[in-house]
Amino acid sequence: MLDYATLKFIHIAAVGISFTGFTARGIGLWRGAPWVRHPLTRRLPHVVDTVLLLSALGMLWTVRLSPWALPWLKAKLFGLVVYIALGVIALSPARGDLPRKLGAASVLSWIGALAVYVYIVSVALTKSARGLLLWW
């Protein structure tokens, strides 16, 4: 089994790769780029997100901690659910033919997902459910 430091490194790397991919897909969709509908572009995020989830679970297992044990972990999980929901709304036009004019819901959902991502990272860094709001 991998040690905590290795799992944390994998987790942080997967967070960065996932965010970069989501941001690029959103911009590509916005610009009508044909690569957005490529099968690899559509499947690779699932692989990255699986690594992200497994590394998080591995860290929890290593320190023998329940995800419900601490308020900031609950906040991250709640944020993750919101991020996924907004991401599905934002990137759903990628399923059809491109280029397709994006509606306001897709654009606002993409921006909202990026904001939720910032919140999740801030919660992880501050170890507080308030995240960046901790300083206000």
pLDDT at 100 (0 to 100): 53
pLDDT at 105 (0 to 100): 86
Cβ-contact 89, 105 below 8 angstroms: yes
**Mean pLDDT computed over 13-17:** 96
pLDDT in tens, 63-86: 999 989 999 999 999 999 999 999
Is residue 95 predicted with pLDDT exceeding 60? no
Spatial separation of the C-alpha atoms in residues 103 and 122, rounded to whole Å: 29
**Mean pLDDT computed over 40-49:** 93
Is residue 97 predicted with pLDDT exceeding 70? no
**Helix, strand, coil percentages for the chain (3-state, nearest 5):** 80, 0, 20
With cut-offs at 50, 70 and 90, classify the pLDDT of residue 132. Answer: confident
With cut-offs at 50, 70 and 90, classify the pLDDT of residue 106. Answer: confident
- The answer for residues whose C-beta is within 8 angstroms of residue 41's C-beta and 6 or more apart is 25, 28, 35
Domain of 83 in residue numbering reads as 4-135
**Mean pLDDT computed over 1-12:** 94
Lowest mean pLDDT among 15-19, 29-33, 80-84: 29-33
Q: For the chain, what is the domain count?
A: 1
pLDDT at 32 (0 to 100): 86
